[in-house]
Each structure stands twice: as structure tokens, then as C-alpha cells.
Structure 1
Amino acid sequence: MRVILRTDVPKLGKTGEICEVSAGYARNFLLPQHLAYPATPGAEAKVADEQRIKQRRVEKEHRSLLELAGQLRDVSLTIAVTVGAQDQLYGSVNEREIVEALKQEYSIELEEKNLKLEEPIRQLGVYRVPVRLAENVESMVTVWVVKSDGQHQS
């Protein structure tokens, strides 16, 4: 019997897939548990349409992520921090501060988990911070960590 899965079913398939199963398995387990429904010609056509729509949406999202990755390559953030003797930072610059600076200066909203800092920045300087937007979409952001205006440089 051919069925269309409503949800992911382990060892059988993912949502929307059309599977061939025994009539007993379908009648006694998949259908009563609302895990699948019979694969009629109309239902198969509907699933095919939904998959095409989903594919278009995924492609559009991927294009927008690639565009954002291009924008991020051109971004140069300046984060002013307070420093002590020998230009040692009080505290550090972490993902949260970089995300906030991106939002304020460029209106680009990312999540902290998108930034891949190996460890917080603890010294003045220029840093290239990797940004992972999706599985196969990555970019870099340039971050300048400088003394705040209230301090003079030695």
C-alpha cells in the first residue's frame, strides 16, 4: 500500500515522502496513529506541489543568505573599549557585543551562535571573525577593537 507520511517515521521516511508499506502496517499502525494517509492520485499531486513550493522557498532563503554573506564581507566594525595599563582590556569583547554592534551600525541582525569566536577578544587590534549563516554559507566580519574616546593613546 502506498502512503504519504505526515511526520518523520524512523526507518521509513521523512514528512511528505511517499512510501510503499504493507497493508497491515498502514492499516494497523500508520493510519490510526495519524502518521500517514493513503497516497491517492490527488494527494500525490498535492504533495508534489507542496514540495515544489518548499524547494522554491529554500532556494530563495539560500539566495538571501548568500547576499547577506556578501554584505558581511564588506563590514568593518569598530568597538571602543576601556583599557588599563599596557593596553590591557577591562573584560573582553565577545559574540554578544559584536552582534549588538552589527545591529546598531549596519542594521544586520544575527544570533550569537552564528559567530565563531574561538575565545573572547582580550587585546586591542584588528580581528577577522568567522560568521556561519547556514550549513554551507559562511562569511567574515572585520572587527577593530580600539581604546574608547575618553582615554588617550600612549
Structure 2
Amino acid sequence: MKLILTNEVTGLGAPGDVVEVKDGYGRNYLIPRGYAILWSRGAEKQIESLRKAREAREIRDLGTAQEVAQRLGSLKVTLKTRAGQGGRLFGSITSGDIAEAVKAAGGPELDRRRIEIGNPIKSVGSHQIAVRLHPEVSAKVDVEVVGA
């Protein structure tokens, strides 16, 4: 099945990429969740607009990505959220929360889809988060979660 990705899918591609996947994966997972649309000749125009939007968001080159990675590595990010007894949070910290906290701490504006949280953050304390800045560069961000 030939599809056009509308969102970034880890291990498959970025928005605007034309990919060939198995029928069941495309029909049962990618299309219903809005990650992809069926490929057609009329969709070629959509591919072009998606690529332009991706290029505007994407970090241009490897050198810039490494500079941003260094800035993120030295950044101290603190998130204040409601917590109960024993340090358990009411809910969990999302990638959108982390992107806002990085920006508030004076860091660069990050796309929440590029932030990879290994295990859900459901307790106060220090956590390390990975951010994919470029296909060859990823940065680690130390996030301190504080109960309010």
C-alpha cells in the first residue's frame, strides 16, 4: 500500500514522505489515526505543501543541530505540577509540557513530536528526556519535576 505521511512516524518517515507499507498497517493504524493518507496523483500537491512546512520547522543542518544540542544540555528545566503524598503526580508530564518548559527556561522552541519520553513521568524528581533534533543528532535534557 502506497501512502503519504501527514505526521512524523518514528522508523517510517516524516510528513510529506511517500512510503510503501503493508496493507494492514496502513489501513488499521496509520490512516485511522491521521498519520497518513492514501497516495494519489491529486495528493502530489499536498505532498509539496507538507514538505515546505516541514522545511520551515526543521533545523537546517548538522552544525546548527549540534549547537542546539549543546544549549539543551546546559539548560536547567523545572516543571511545577500538582503532586500528592509520596511525590506521585496527578496525571503525567507530556511532551507538550516539556516543550513549553524548555521555552520558558530560555531554550529553543521545540516541536513536541521530537521529544521522546521513555517511561511516563508520574513522580517528582529529576528525569532525563531525549530530543531528536536531526537524524544524526539527539540531545538529552534534564527535567526537574517539582510538586506544587
1:145 matched residue in structure 2:
145
1:123 matched residue in structure 2:
123
Whole-angstrom distance in 2 between the partners of 1:98 and 1:126: 13
For 1:123, give the aligned amino acid: S
Larger C-alpha radius of gyration, 1 or 2? 1
Q: CA RMSD in A?
A: 1.3
CA deviations over 1:89-125 (Å, ceiling 9, x no partner): 1111111000011112214111111111023200011
For 1:71, give the aligned amino acid: R
1:105 matched residue in structure 2:
105
For 2:131, give the aligned amino acid: V
State the identity %.
28
> Are 1:71 and 2:74 counterparts?
no
Whole-angstrom distance in 1 between the partners of 2:70 and 2:77: 15
Per the alignment, do residues 96 and 105 of structure 1 end up closer, same or farther by CA in structure 2, a change over 3 Å counting?
A: same
Q: Is the partner of 2:90 in helix, strand or coil?
A: strand
For 1:117, give the aligned amino acid: I
Task: Count how many residue pairs are aligned between Structure 1 and Structure 2.
Answer: 89
TM-score normalised by the chain length of structure 1: 0.54
1:86 matched residue in structure 2:
86
For 1:134, give the aligned amino acid: H
Q: Is the partner of 2:61 in helix, strand or coil?
A: helix
After the TM superposition, which parts of structure 1 deviate over 4 Å for at least 4 consecutive aligned residues?
Answer: none
Deviation at 1:131, TM superposition (A): 1.0
Whole-angstrom distance in 2 between the partners of 1:122 and 1:76: 19
Q: Is the partner of 1:106 in helix, strand or coil?
A: coil
Whole-angstrom distance in 1 between the partners of 2:140 and 2:109: 15
For 2:121, give the aligned amino acid: I
TM-score normalised by the chain length of structure 2: 0.56
Whole-angstrom distance in 1 between the partners of 2:77 and 2:131: 14
Whole-angstrom distance in 2 between the partners of 1:118 and 1:126: 14
2:37 matched residue in structure 1:
none
Unaligned runs of 5+ in 2: 1-59
Q: Is the partner of 2:109 in helix, strand or coil?
A: coil
